[in-house]
Structures are given as C-alpha cells and as structure tokens.
Amino acid sequence: MEKRSRKRQVDEKRLEEITLIAEEIVAKKGINGLTLQEVISQSSVSRGTFYKQFPSKETLITYLGIKGLNYWSGLMELAKGYDALSRERLLVLYATHVLCHRLKPINYQCIFIANSEVNRLAVSPELNGILDDRINHLIAFIAECITQAVAENNLTVPNSLSIPELAFFIWANRYGATVASYNFQMEHGDDDLTQKYKRYTNYCLDNMQWKPLSQEINYERVLNHIFTAFYKQERNLAKKMHTTIQPFSITEQVFDI
C-alpha cells in the first residue's frame, strides 16, 4: 500500500512538471507549436518514462484539459455554501466558466480539444473516462439545481424528460455555444456575443417557467454578487490579466455594475 502511494506521488509530481512545461510552450507557440520532443527536452523525465505516460500529443492535451476541469470544479466548491434559489445557484456554473476561461485559458482550451472525436480516438479509454467523469461532475451540479428548483415549486420537469437528461441538454447547449463561438461571425462586428447568449439563456429558462423569471429579478446583479461573495480574489486577478473584450465569446464579463 505504501509502495503504491509513493508511486502515485511520483506520478503526480511528474504529471505536474510535464503539464506546466506544456503550458509554457503553448503560451509561447500555441497548441500547434506544442511537441513532445520539446517537452521532453525541458523536463527531468527520461524519454522512456515520458512515453509510458504520454504516448501522444493528444494524451498530453487530455491531461491539460483534465487539469482545467479540476480547476473549474475547484472553483465551484468555493461557492458550495451559497444559500440561494435554484436559478440563482445555477449562475455559479456561469461564474466559474468565466473565471476558468480567464485564469486558465490554455487548460480551458484543452478541455474542448480533448473532447473532440479526433483527440479522443488517439487517447486511452481510461483517460477519456477520467475526462468524462470531470465533465459529468459539472453536469451533476446542473441536475442538483434542477432538483432544488422542483422542490421549491419553481420548475416543473416534463414527464418526457428526466432531471439528468434535462441537465445534460442545458450543459450541451452551453458547451455547443462555447465551441461554436470560436468560429462565429456576427452580422455586426461590434456586437457582444456574451450579452446575446445571456439573453438567450434567460429566454430559454423563462420559457421553461424556471422561476423567478428574468423580469422579476436582475440576474446580472446576482452574478456579480457571486463574484464578489465567493471569487473576489479570482475576480480581481481576472480583471488585471484580461482587459480586452473578445466579441466572439460567450464568457466575457463586466465585473462591476
């Protein structure tokens, strides 16, 4: 048992070293500039040992994505004590989405690359399973909010959909919008895709009759309260690190209103 524990510690230390080196390379050269040869040359790990754990670039990208998802889930844990109505609590997912994008942009990008079909085909089923488990953890939070909404009598789930299914589709909507926004071209270049996505989300949740409706409560103020109450340090860091508004993103955020 002790031997396995020591081996696990060694593996985790190696993983942290390799992912940090990879992140530095991507920061300078982009994902296309990331090569296993350069990572090996900068690491303390032998070539043979390296390839046992990272047999392909796709495997390394998946590890970077999992690291991003771990960070995202860790942010959500900071707000686990948030005592609010279900639709207000759902905004924790959006707040942490914004912060993960802002503060861990490389790992954030790798979440979506890792989950692409081409990447998944080059990665072991075991590692893909870990990636799926981390994503399912985020979906489970949505299901938790839906369950709370039903208990509050603020939402009725149709008989044709289960709570896990509804949670999945809410996540899939956000996931798909995030991926599509990378290549989306709006009719007017100065439009703010984030605000349009927020209006669309309110439209969808209002049509589901998830109460309180957006006409009854200012959800933008609720969101900023979440940033202030649970993510003050992260919010301030994000404001310093990222000042340019990206019009083709659904995760831009003005923190002070």
Is 79 found in the same domain as 22?
no
How many residues are there in the chain?
257
Q: Which of 32, 54, 76 is the last residue of a domain?
A: 54
User: What is the domain-level CATH number for residue 130?
Assistant: 1.10.357
Residues 198, 115 share a domain:
yes
For residue 252, being part of any structural domain is answered with no
pLDDT in tens, 219-231: 999 999 999 999 9
Number of domains in the chain: 2
> Does one domain contain both 12 and 107?
no
Please report, as a single letter, which amino acid is at residue 30.
G
Q: For the segment 87-126, what is each residue's pLDDT rounded down to a tens digit?
A: 999 999 999 999 999 999 999 999 999 999 999 999 999 9
pLDDT band of residue 141 (cuts 50, 70, 90) is very high
- Asked if the model's pLDDT at residue 190 lies above 80, the reply is no
Whether residue 62 lies inside any domain: the answer is: no
Q: Are 42 and 133 contained in the same domain? A: no
225 and 122 belong to one structural domain:
yes
Range of 42's domain?
A: 1-54
91 inside domain: yes
In a domain? residue 88: yes
Domain contains 175: yes
Domain boundary among 9, 32, 54: 54
C-alpha–C-alpha distance, residues 170 and 167, integer Å: 5
Pair 46, 19 in one domain: yes
| Whole-angstrom distance, CA of residue 255 vs CA of residue 257 | 7
> What average pLDDT does the segment 156-184 reach?
92
Residue 5: the pLDDT is 80
**Positions of E strands within 19-168:** none
Check whether 8 has a pLDDT greater than 90: no
Res. 189: pLDDT tops 90: no
Q: Is the whole model's pTM more than 0.85, yes or no?
A: yes
> Given this model, what pLDDT does residue 180 score?
86
Q: 50-54 long-range CB contacts below 8 Å, 24 or more apart?
A: 50/18, 53/11, 53/14, 53/15, 53/18, 54/18
Long-range pairs, 209-213, Cβ under 8 A, ≥24:
209/155, 209/156, 210/86, 210/87, 210/149, 210/154, 210/155, 211/87, 211/154, 211/155, 212/85, 212/87, 212/154
Please provide the average confidence, as pLDDT, over all residues in the chain: 92
107 and 215 belong to one structural domain: yes
pLDDT at 241 over 90: no
Residue 243, pLDDT > 60, answer: no
CB 166 within 8 A of CB 149: no
Q: Are residues 9 and 97 in the same domain?
A: no
pLDDT score of 255 = 74
Q: Is residue 247 part of a domain?
A: no
Q: For 64-75, write each residue's pLDDT tens digit.
A: 999 999 999 999
